[in-house]
Structure 1
Amino acid sequence: MKSTFEKEPPVAHASHRWEENEHCLHYDYNGKPLLSIFIPEGAKPYYREASNGNIQSSPFVQQIYVALDKPALVKVNIHLSKEALNMRPQRAVKGQAILGQIGKPLLKGVNGIYDVFQDLLIDWHGAGWSWTKSRLEQNETGDWQAELEVQGGLQPWIVNLRMQYYRRHLQFEHHRPWQWRPNVQPITGWSSWEAFAQRVTGKDIEKTAAFLDTHFKPYGLNVMQIDDGFQSEHIPPTKGGSVADAWIQTNHRFPDGHDGLISSIKGRGFRAGIWSSAMVTNREFVEANREYFECDSSGDPLYGQWIFNVLKTDPKTLAEQVAPLYRGLKDKGYSYFKTDQIRHFLYDGLHKAVNDGLLSNEEASASLRNYLQCAREQIGEDSFFLACWGVLTEAAGIVDACRIAGDSNPSWSAICKQMVETARWYHTQRILYLNDPDYICVRTEEAWGQSLLSLVSLTGGLLMISDNTELYDKDRIHSIQRCIPSLATTTGETGQLDMTFPLDLSLPQLGDRQMDDAFAYALLGLNAEPRETNATGSLWAIHFDLPFRRWCVAGRFAVVPLMETVLELEALALAPDDAYHAFDFWKQRYLGKKTGSIALDALELGHCQIVGLCKAENRPQLIGSSRHVSMDAVSVADERWEDGRLLLDLRGVPGTTEHYWISVPSSYGYENCSGIGIVIAVEDSDSEDSRLLKLSIRWEEEQGKADLGFS
């Protein structure tokens, strides 16, 4: 999507000016205000007045400091563009939860702001500080701003400005958010690959579409993607044809062609997705059309593992071989495109030519980028574009999503990889792309599938299930329904890529359903002794800041067996002095009111615990839900407290029943309830910390209203 912020931010100092009448130190950047630091009357500030200092190299960092001659409280305003986030300026360390966010929360102790359109990271250190408000606020021009207070004094408050942060500091050189932003809409769907592999048929798609329509579409699944198996056996099918022929002409298992596929998918109301690959496999075509292919040092067409024969990306080849492929599939009615083998195209193909001195590294990267750009131009900005696989810097600024993990399957080693790679790459989530951990195989051990579904949904990943739906029992259907749709979660932390654990450790493989602790630890390069309380990628905190409600969901995932632990709430970026109602989602159990810390369960390998934490208020309030693992960013459209009544606007699936838990302080008495579009049954119970109402709500219509009266 084209950005509305087209001016490239300079890699240059923010300029300072002192306004005596305001007693304020201002910093301006890119032609606009950036920082306003208000110094109390009677305090003398000390600050850097010129571009001296030693942090002047590339990637560029401007360090600002402010000190006072005596202790005083300093107010600071941060002025931002039309897209900004509170962001921890480093990755989670041991004992900290990985942070995600929906909305614009300002989180306890999270000492950074990322201005998305300007690719500017602002972080601060040194002096004590706190937010003055709970969320970023938007001004009359649509720009965002934040306010904090700093404990000024002789100890300096240090501010770092990292210009073009993702582009230069993290080396995603094609990331230019001031020109273009990916379409990072939540994606929830089904793919044919792990269900049927290359044996997939048109009948399989038709039958699966009917199942998905009944069981998952009402809950938010809206994409069906055909994977490898529909195309011709050889690419292209004949010596005299073109590459596009292999993809536009379906094989004998699809006698009705793409028209039949589109009819099966769109006829059920799903968005139609299609897989294709950059590979060329027909050697006769290659020999007859050498001008389209890169050559090796012997002058023969370049061959690479998985990619087979390596296309050139000059204008003629792109126009005659690549553009017709994507334009043809777009014209058939597909709007979701997955392009595979691009990592092999670059590293197993083009870089063989680099090794032989036939291409430079820059030319190889440009060639891959040319291929992706051609595809994007043909499918248009209104289509969704997934690059597979590898988080390639060349894909930034072109694709909407990147696959971040290896090939999935139902084994623990594959599922564990999906979970830890979700953690490793989380700093790119909805900044560079939508992260795709690959397909979720829910046919695996029930607890493993439930954990991966929970993690991908909460962290906002591209959620594609991929099984033969005949393998889904009642419990697996229920787990999927509780985790769809995937959420629009954005990363709440950034920093360098964590390379302290292996990507894909080759170990003796056990059976799909067999696993011992030693093997599980070895997958992550860990020693099984001592046992872990929180291992890499196991602890998450997703913060929800909606206009009507604010809460946190803590997720603990046993990527190795995890010991019981007492977790400090500060590790979740929550205020330790506040009280929070804690509710366990999968056990559907109230855990009580927690201050300072929370006790979490020991977890067997592959199991998870999902706990909602709502700040306790002195009134009846919603604290838990059965509908969605987010508890509940999906079915609750509004929550209001008006004149002794709790009012809920709800969305649901007609004919189904969900449960909602309301905490009622002892100073209130429950009186009555009524519903519109829903039927409500109420169970009243007491707990150690609070009186609870359990609402069992049956939907008669998709939209419903609940009205609960208290005295």
Structure 2
Amino acid sequence: MSWKIKLNNGRIDAFYDDQLVLEGVELRGYDQKDEIKFLLAPYGKPYPVATPAGEQIVYILKLVPQNTGPTDIIMEIFCGPLRLALRLYPRKPLGFKLSGMVHWGWEPYLCRIEPGQFKDVVQAALGPANSLLCDCLFDKWTDRVLRFNADDIFQIKANPSTGDFWVEAQLFTQFGSIPEILAVEVINHFVTEHRSMPHYVPYDRTHHPLPPSGWESWYCYGRQTSEEILIRITDWLAKHLKPFGCEVVQWDDGYQDENWLEWRRDLFPHGGKWIADYIHSKGFKPGIWVLPQSLGKIDSKLLETKPDWLLRKPDGEVFRGFANYPYVDPTHPEVKKEWFQKIFHTMAREWGIDFFKIDGEGEMQQWYALCRDQLYDPSLTPDEAYRGWLKIIREAIGQERTLLICATQWRAMGFGDCCRTGTDVGEQWPAVEPALRATFSNYWMHTIAWYCDPDVLIVRPPLTLEQARSWASLLGLSGQVLLNSDPVHELPEERVELLRRIFPAQDIRPMDLWSHPPHGPYPQIWDLKVATNWGQWDIVGLFRWFEENAAEVKITTELLGLPTGRYVLYDVWEKSYLGELGNGRTFQIDPGACRVLCIRALTHVPLLLGTNRHITQGYPD
């Protein structure tokens, strides 16, 4: 694989791996008076140059002015195994502009892949958005990055109406310098190798175009969740949050008796199918928590009746993992059929459950490594043993149902629709930190490998309204899995309004494909760039997570990757106009609080400042 070029009517077409990448690249010159359009023509034949990195092909081209202009300018193009460089040789001072269309895979993401200027401004995109801070395109399907560089100014731009990308570059140079007006570099196997995710599979969103949005029971009812509670919650959600995009009602641990198909009759007198049917009847998708790698009770009768089903440690003792549950041997043929396949086929195909959260996944490979010699089939690696039963579950429930992996298990890529990317949160403000750590460390893989789940959203007291608003804003601006876990029917109206303003989760993707330090301090600026065929705007969250964070947060056009111009500000939560951005604005923020601003370019036509519906300010409306 290497770069190649062809001249097409005086313009450059560049190919990588025989795929057209740069199309119709043209050059223009300019001085203080005139603009000169150049066509490119061969200046001798291309020739190879051997290098330690592989062979490069060098093309020497002449810039031919279309009317009057200099006739002695040469361009050299270096086509290497990974890098393509366009280098100019002018004879006198002259400015140059380059432009051309860019093609990169099936689903290119405009992004940046490593910290650089303004690295503590988190960027995300809703639609084909632009940012002057981005220098890359990433295609998740081929796992390739196309990184741009130049010795002066360049920009990659998306056309929101067509989804096409353009690159533009500009420089001023003179005799004696040989600048690169543009260079592009291919980074192969970006997630697999550069992010060390050997099981990476690009997430196909055909069946689930948006992350799940709904409610779950654990953080308000724990193991006492009952049929009665779910009926009450479902009825309330149907009236108050379903019109705003709530779609999932999920219950957690505590329902099971001897196994995952036998339920506690004191909590669920009508059983699993009945409650699933009830939730369906209200227009929701029923969801369930399962720990499939284990028995349903710590003292299950299966310990005596099926001893050969159990996972055993090197000393022969039954292995007990999450919450002291006894684990099963995933390589045993009967376990595969009578346990994994039967449980999930019954729940999905017979009971009608649509959403599955499987827990305790984060350390599975460690337990299978520890117990490998005691497995029914010790020839399987820990990864093969784990992924084997995930495959059984995926086939049993089908692609149309949602599978959430909990928690942080990269070996589940290719099977999970969603993944918990951190530890449990809580209802006190310091307990929001696991969600911050999960988001800022792992958001880069959201929509790429799966939908990221930083755990639930809680908005009830003892959280202050400002703290609840900050937590809700983080979920609303990131577009991650959105599951509330409050006794919603008891919430004050102002807390319910927080939920209405962020439901449902939107099709938001990361623009920064790296991990922020998990220990903090966490970024205080989140810039969601929204692009539609009728407008572009930014929703900027300014946060002061904790007392130790800066009390003043300043924003400028440069920091937000915006072109120079006039912009107006609207406070999303306060519903107030704040005037122009100008040369920058500084905001004072209290600990635990936030400001969410809608920033729009000032034009000479009537302008929508904001709405009182969704935090994205018009996108889903």
Q: TM-score, normalised by structure 1?
A: 0.74
- 1:122 is aligned, of 142, 146, 154, to 146
- 2:574 is aligned, of 583, 587, 590, to 587
Asked if the contact 1:86–1:492 (Cα under 8 Å) also holds between the matched residues in 2, the reply is yes
Q: 1:441 and 1:45, CA in 2 relative to 1: closer, same or farther beyond 3 A?
A: farther
Provide the secondary structure at the position in 2 that maps to 1:416: helix
CA distance in 1, matches of 2:161, 2:50: 31
Q: Quick one: which amino acid aligns to residue 274 of structure 1?
A: I
- 2:528 is aligned, of 534, 542, 548, to 542
Q: Deviations 1:39-95 (Å, cap 9, x if unpaired)?
A: 544799999956735499xxx982332211126323243212331121112247656
- Aligned residue in 2 for 1:52: 51
- Is 1:304 aligned to 2:305, yes or no? no
- Aligned residue in 1 for 2:82: 62
Deviation of 1:23 after TM superposition, in Å, equals 4.7
Asked if the contact 1:186–1:486 (Cα under 8 Å) also holds between the matched residues in 2, the reply is yes
Q: Deviations 1:215-248 (Å, cap 9, x if unpaired)?
A: 211111111111112111xxxx2xxxxxxx4335
Asked if the contact 1:338–1:386 (Cα under 8 Å) also holds between the matched residues in 2, the reply is yes
- 1:231 is aligned, of 256, 261, 286, to 256
Alignment of 1:486-635 (within 5 A): 486-495=505-514, 497-498=515-516, 500-502=517-519, 524=520, 535-561=521-547, 562-575=550-563, 577-599=564-586, 601-635=587-621
Deviation of 1:283 after TM superposition, in Å, equals 5.7
Provide the secondary structure at the position in 2 that maps to 1:456: helix
- Aligned residue in 1 for 2:71: none
- Is 1:446 aligned to 2:432, yes or no? no
Asked if the contact 1:307–1:341 (Cα under 8 Å) also holds between the matched residues in 2, the reply is no
Q: Deviations 1:290-323 (Å, cap 9, x if unpaired)?
A: 3323332223333335363332222442112111
CA distance in 2, matches of 1:61, 1:386: 40
Provide the secondary structure at the position in 2 that maps to 1:309: coil
- Aligned residue in 2 for 1:467: 486
Q: 1:459 and 1:222, CA in 2 relative to 1: closer, same or farther beyond 3 A?
A: same
Asked if the contact 2:312–2:374 (Cα under 8 Å) also holds between the matched residues in 1, the reply is no
RMSD (CA atoms): 3.1
Provide the secondary structure at the position in 1 that maps to 2:362: helix
Deviation of 1:191 after TM superposition, in Å, equals 0.5
Deviation of 1:379 after TM superposition, in Å, equals 0.5
Deviation of 1:466 after TM superposition, in Å, equals 0.5
- Aligned residue in 1 for 2:113: 89
CA distance in 2, matches of 1:111, 1:362: 42
- 2:400 is aligned, of 339, 357, 382, to 382
> Could you list the runs of 5+ residues in structure 1 that have no partner in the other structure?
1-12, 238-244, 503-523, 525-534, 636-711
- Aligned residue in 1 for 2:294: 279
CA distance in 1, matches of 2:109, 2:533: 16
- Is 1:455 aligned to 2:469, yes or no? no
- Is 1:325 aligned to 2:343, yes or no? yes
Q: Quick one: which amino acid aligns to residue 16 of structure 1?
A: K
Provide the secondary structure at the position in 2 that maps to 1:621: coil
- Is 1:247 aligned to 2:261, yes or no? yes
Q: 1:423 and 1:361, CA in 2 relative to 1: closer, same or farther beyond 3 A?
A: farther
Asked if the contact 2:418–2:453 (Cα under 8 Å) also holds between the matched residues in 1, the reply is yes
Asked if the contact 2:203–2:448 (Cα under 8 Å) also holds between the matched residues in 1, the reply is no
Q: Quick one: which amino acid aligns to residue 424 of structure 1?
A: S
- Aligned residue in 2 for 1:521: none
Deviation of 1:285 after TM superposition, in Å, equals 1.9
Asked if the contact 2:553–2:589 (Cα under 8 Å) also holds between the matched residues in 1, the reply is no
Higher relative contact order (CA 8 A, sep 6+): 2
Q: 1:259 and 1:299, CA in 2 relative to 1: closer, same or farther beyond 3 A?
A: closer
Provide the secondary structure at the position in 1 that maps to 2:589: coil
Q: Quick one: which amino acid aligns to residue 452 of structure 1?
A: W
CA distance in 2, matches of 1:257, 1:105: 48
Q: 1:127 and 1:49, CA in 2 relative to 1: closer, same or farther beyond 3 A?
A: farther
- Is 1:410 aligned to 2:427, yes or no? yes
Q: Quick one: which amino acid aligns to residue 392 of structure 2?
A: C
Q: Quick one: which amino acid aligns to residue 624 of structure 1?
A: G
- Aligned residue in 1 for 2:2: 14
Q: Quick one: which amino acid aligns to residue 367 of structure 1?
A: A
- Aligned residue in 2 for 1:398: 415
Q: 1:328 and 1:307, CA in 2 relative to 1: closer, same or farther beyond 3 A?
A: farther
Q: 1:178 and 1:563, CA in 2 relative to 1: closer, same or farther beyond 3 A?
A: closer
Provide the secondary structure at the position in 1 that maps to 2:475: helix
Q: 1:329 and 1:152, CA in 2 relative to 1: closer, same or farther beyond 3 A?
A: farther
Provide the secondary structure at the position in 2 that maps to 1:342: coil
Provide the secondary structure at the position in 1 that maps to 2:222: helix
CA distance in 2, matches of 1:586, 1:545: 21
Alignment of 1:82-231 (within 5 A): 82-91=106-115, 96-131=120-155, 134-135=158-159, 138=162, 144-151=164-171, 154-156=178-180, 157-177=182-202, 183-231=208-256
CA distance in 2, matches of 1:334, 1:222: 13
- Aligned residue in 1 for 2:384: 366
- Aligned residue in 1 for 2:77: none
CA distance in 2, matches of 1:93, 1:402: 30
- 2:104 is aligned, of 68, 77, 80, to 80
- Aligned residue in 1 for 2:76: none
CA distance in 2, matches of 1:323, 1:287: 22
Q: 1:51 and 1:65, CA in 2 relative to 1: closer, same or farther beyond 3 A?
A: farther
- 1:476 is aligned, of 495, 498, 502, to 495
Q: TM-score, normalised by structure 2?
A: 0.84
Deviation of 1:541 after TM superposition, in Å, equals 0.5
CA distance in 2, matches of 1:622, 1:132: 27
Deviation of 1:598 after TM superposition, in Å, equals 2.5
Identity of paired residues, percent?
19
CA distance in 1, matches of 2:450, 2:238: 28
